Structure 1
Amino acid sequence: MEQSQTDFFVGRQPIVDRDENIYGYELLFRGGLNSSVAEFDSDSQATATVICNSMMEMDIKELVGKSKAFINFPEEFFYEMRDPCFHPRQVVIEVLETVEPNQQVIESLQYLKDQGYILALDDFIFSKKYVPFIKMADIVKFDVLVIKPEKIKPLFTKIKSIKDVTILAERVENKEMYDLCKEAGADLFQGYYFAKPEVVTGKKLSVAKIHLLELLKKVVDESLHLDDLESIIEKDVGLSIKILKLAKQYKSISMPNFSSLKEVMMLFGLKRVQSWATMISMTSLDDVFPEVFNLARLRAIFMRNIAQKENLPAVDSFYLAGLFSMIDVILGQNLDQALDNIPLNEHIKNGVLNGEGEIGRLLKIAKSFELNNADDHQDFALLYLEAIKEVNKISEI
């Protein structure tokens, strides 16, 4: 039977550094579209599928941008393949916890290291027999949910006494665990906390967020005219430059080169430029995890893609809805409180707040991909992948 384009899917999970910047993404094999379930006959098949999907079916840079791609490799890989088909600059080779430190594996790891590859030990549990692995590793990953909190710091210290490796705390699910691992000396962090940060309710807005809120009020006002939007954008040189760069990404061959913001607005339309200005303005804050903005962009683009596929009216309203579905995290307020300060129409607000209408339906689909529960939405997998590619393209602007 011929496989459909959606038989295999590559999931990804962000990895951040101590400054909360994206360091890389772990690429995860997924059978079908439920990103919480990996069904495959062997570890080798899983690895081969990830490599095929991320490097042959699609450009790996479209999945991870300029960041590093972490990929799991089983024991068979170190017996069967000496010269990987991928470049050492962007791929981190994760040695699965099931790999035994025998002489052949150690020699293969040393060969890869000599070629310039970064080696990471996945789900590491300390044992003396793994000391040779530690001495060759660049990164050691710990599943911190299976370690007693009081044991985390001594364990990190013990590993670093053997070799000054980079410690990656995996499955960081909340702020308390993030703070604990950071204090214990972890250098990198991975877990659901970074894709969905907690919201501190009743938080007083900073000056930067007050300015952002004022700008958003103007930018998303439905009564706004083209000249009004142009005058708002032109006051911020950085915003103007980013709008022009973003327009260039979407420029078709038939379009003339841009010489002014007004030309961009005439070619792409007021609503589209409004959406771009909103997105760029929201990413101007430096006290919010970068992945929050990526997730908001991903929802926005994905929802717009579905709306276009289904020929729904006012596709840019779906884009704005996806973008503003994360405004509570960005502003540090309750969602209803944050949305109350922005002049969005009731159609968008009710969709985001209460899951009503087509906006509510599409937002629910977007969240199903994030929450590992996309079994009922397989038809949208390729649209989600396209949204990931577009987010990475935008991130480079």
Structure 2
Amino acid sequence: MSDFCLVRQPVFGSTGSLIGYELRFNESEDGQHGFVQSFLSGTFDLVRNRLPAFVAASPTLLIEDAFLAAEPGSAIVLLPSDTTADDVLVEAIARYRAAGGLVAIDHKGAEVSAAESLLPYVSWVRVDARAGNAETLAAVCGRLTSTASASGAAPKLIAAHVEEIEHYEATLASGFHAFQGSFFSRPEPLPSADMPQSTVAAMRLMGLARDGNVSDRQLEDVIATDPVLTFQLLRLVNSAALGGRGVASIGQALRLIGRNAFLRWLAVAVAAARKSKTGVDQELVRQAVERGRLLEQLVGGGRDSGTLFLVGLFSLLDSVFRMPLSEILDRVVLSAEANDALLERSGPYANALDFAESYELGLFENATIIAKDMGVDQSKINDFYTNAIIWTAEALGAALEAQQPGMKRAS
């Protein structure tokens, strides 16, 4: 059981590549920063996935050298916008940088902030993309980079709270180097978007697998009509679900792992079928599968784990496939309760989606209240999230191997 809550949010480069994560922690009751607890438990290195993690922290934590224990370059300390430079803090930054660490500052608006006194000592500045129009953002960008250039290398700029296409275009044109925000989780649907036939078949199969009146033999007959899907699923189940134990048929896989597990792996195959061209695409697939696994653990109160998984997964498939969710749901037969949750935000599974969205935004208090209303043990919430990250990494690794035989998973 974890005493802290954390969530990670992706940071993308100007080409759409994933360059790191921001890790957000809840306020600890004993006053200990969540980073310290997560580092000691090993969670920090797990969730950052070998990428740099931006971690908001007070100057005191940096002065106390709390981040020196981390692997050099793994934690970029993000200081608040009201931080001012003094000798003690500047010396602490120097120690951290000498050890291979990086420091960033937050910059909330268009006006000059106190933290700008630290510009000569930091590597990143995070600016709120909602601070003004393109002209205002360009002026802020110019001021921040020119101020630092007088005494050292100019810091790189991150655009935070990129929520609309206008925010992205304005910050990209102004010379920002990195971006984060809800805009990247809900790309506009493409009018001509379509799905591979194997994906459509797999989605229909998900609906059939939920029906207790449909036999394993009937499911095997359906999937056997698609050789590509058969091959992918057999590799997926062999390499991931059963730890390498041999599976010769879909029917055998169903008998060994059960329908709920079969549904999960089938859903992962659907998500992984999205041809990911950028880090944004890959991250959307990861988020969809991860949310499915997170929700699956919120069982109780009459909620079915398989339905929870599908509700979580499908809630992001419109962004994954660039298609309206209603069109996606037309291709698969989900339960009425699942459709109500996804399309109307009503019924017994709607609050599970509310929980996921609150948690993913770092609104831990609100997520805890929802979990309590659902009868979920609040002390296990962070463990559920960490488990979802681990499971998703393993599942998507197996799915990619199934798509590309012979590919070796990164160690």
Q: Which amino acid aligns with 2:359?
A: F
1:156 equivalenced with 2:166 (yes/no): no
Structure 2 CA distance for aligned equivalents of residues 121 and 304 of structure 1? 37
What are the equivalent positions in structure 2 for 1:369-380 lying under 5 Å apart? 369-370=359-360, 372=363, 373-374=366-367, 375-378=369-372, 379-380=376-377
What is the CA–CA distance in structure 2 between the aligned matches of 1:214 and 1:203, rounded to whole Å? 21
Aligned residues of 2:198 and 2:229 also touching (Cα < 8 A): no
> Where in structure 2 are the equivalents of 1:87-126 lying within 5 Å?
87-123=71-107
Residue 10 of structure 1 contacts residue 27 of structure 1 at CA under 8 Å; is this kept in 2?
yes
Aligned pairs for 1:62-73 (under 5 A) are: 62-73=46-57
Question: Please, which of 366, 385, 388 is the counterpart of residue 388 of structure 1?
Answer: 385
Match of 2:118 in 1: 133
Within the alignment, does 1:281 sit opposite 2:270 as a pair? Answer: yes
Deviations 1:307-344 (A, max 9, x none): 2xx27475212212221122322333332232112233
User: Is 1:205 the counterpart of 2:184 in the alignment?
Assistant: no
The alignment covers a number of residue pairs equal to 370
Deviation string, structure 1 residues 268-291 (Cα, Å, up to 9, x no partner): 124422321222322332266444
Query: What letter corresponds to residue 125 of structure 2 in structure 1?
Result: V
Aligned residue identity for 1:108: A
CA contact (8 A) 1:244 1:261 kept: no
Aligned to 1:246: 240
State the Cα distance separating 1:115 from its structure 2 match: 0.8
Do the aligned partners of 2:65 and 2:96 also contact (CA within 8 Å) in 1? no
Q: Distance in 1 between matches of 2:66 and 2:386?
A: 30
In the alignment, the residues of structure 1 paired with residue 284 and residue 22 of structure 2 have an alpha-carbon distance, to the nearest angstrom, of 17
Q: Specify whether residues 257 and 79 from structure 1 end up closer, same or farther in structure 2 by C-alpha distance, changes over 3 A only.
A: same
Tell me the CA shift for residue 177 of structure 1: 0.6
Equivalence for 2:286 = 294
Contact preservation (8 Å) 1:229, 1:274: no
Aligned partner of 1:217: which letter? Answer: R
* 2:54 is equivalent to residue 60 of structure 1: no
Show CA shifts across 1:90-132 (max 9, x none).
2111122232222332222122111111222222778699677
1:37 maps to none
Question: Which residue of the other structure, out of 293, 296, 303, is the alignment partner of 2:295?
Answer: 303
Deviation at 1:216, TM superposition (A): 2.3
Q: Which residue of 1 aligns with 2:184?
A: 194
Give the deviation of 1:388 after TM superposition. 2.5
RMSD of aligned C-alpha atoms? Answer: 3.4
**How far 1:210 moved relative to its partner?**
6.2
Aligned with 2:94: secondary structure? helix
Distance 1:237 1:81, change over 3 A: same
Residue pair 2:21, 2:54 contacting (<8 A) in 1 also: yes
Give the one of 237, 240, 245 matched to 1:257.
245
Q: Give TM-score scaled by structure 1 length.
A: 0.78
The answer to whether structure 1 residue 229 and structure 2 residue 223 are counterparts is yes
Q: Match for residue 167 of structure 1?
A: 157
Secondary structure of the residue that 2:333 maps to in structure 1?
coil
Distance 2:206 2:226 in 1: 8
Normalization by structure 2: what TM-score? 0.76
| 1:217 has 2:211 as partner | no
Q: 2:408 — aligned with what?
A: none
CA 1:189/1:244 → structure 2, altered by over 3 Å: closer, same or farther? Answer: farther
Residue pairs, 1:338-377, within 5 angstroms:
338-370=328-360, 372=363, 373-374=366-367, 375-377=369-371
Correspondences of 1:75-94 after superposition (within 5 Å): 75-81=59-65, 84-94=68-78
> Does the CA-based 8 Å contact 1:239-1:281 persist in structure 2?
no
Cα 1:347/1:311, change in 2 over 3 Å: closer
In the alignment, the residues of structure 1 paired with residue 93 and residue 384 of structure 2 have an alpha-carbon distance, to the nearest angstrom, of 35
Distance 1:234 1:188 in 2: 38
SS of residue paired to 2:107:
coil
Of 168, 173, 193, 1:178 maps to: 168
Cα distance in structure 1, aligned partners of 2:303 and 2:56: 43
Letter in 2 for 1:322: G
For residues 13 and 347 of structure 1, what CA distance do their matches in structure 2 show?
A: 29
Aligned sequence identity (%): 17
* Whole-angstrom distance in 2 between the partners of 1:386 and 1:129: 37
Task: Tell me: CA distance 1:280–1:376, structure 2 relative to 1, closer, same or farther (3 Å).
Answer: same
- Partners of 2:295 and 2:66 lie apart in 1 by 43
C-alpha distance in structure 1 between counterparts of 2:139 and 2:223, whole Å? 56
Q: Flag structure 1 segments of 5+ consecutive residues without an equivalent.
A: 33-39
